[in-house]
Amino acid sequence: MAGHLGKTLAELDALVGMDELRAWQAFDRVDPIGSYRGDLQAATISQHIAIWAGAGKKTPPLIDLLPIDPHPMTPEQKQAVDAAKARARSDAYTANLIATLQSKVKK
């Protein structure tokens, strides 16, 4: 925290009471000071480089370029999310296939 404020630890100790320090520590657990914003900026630059380099339609989503997952999950949670995404893709494919077949039958 001292480095982010441009202060030495001694200066910070003289300026910030224990209650305020605890409040900042709690806030840092919820929204880490500094690092996430820098990670997001780096991921944005990486995404633009991928676009410029010709990644085309498969430009990686920003979340895939972050060095640290902002929404960490247990393996079980990740498996459930991945299964739900797979079901959604399968349902969309099936609906598209049905619509295609129905349009061919009507002709």
Q: Does residue 92 form part of some domain?
A: yes
What is the three-class DSSP state of 74? Answer: coil
> What's the pLDDT at 95?
92
Query: What's the whole-number mean pLDDT along residues 67-85?
Result: 84
For residue 107, pLDDT over 70 is answered with no
Give the pTM: 0.38
How many domains does the chain divide into? 1
Q: Does residue 17 form part of some domain?
A: no
Domain limits for position 97 = 73-107
More confident residue, 56 or 84: 84
Q: Does residue 100 form part of some domain?
A: yes
> What's the pLDDT at 68?
73
More confident residue, 100 or 52: 100
Q: Does residue 78 form part of some domain?
A: yes
Q: What is the largest CA-CA distance in the chain?
A: 82
CA distances, 93 to each of 9, 15, 60, 86, 101 (Å): 59, 61, 22, 10, 12
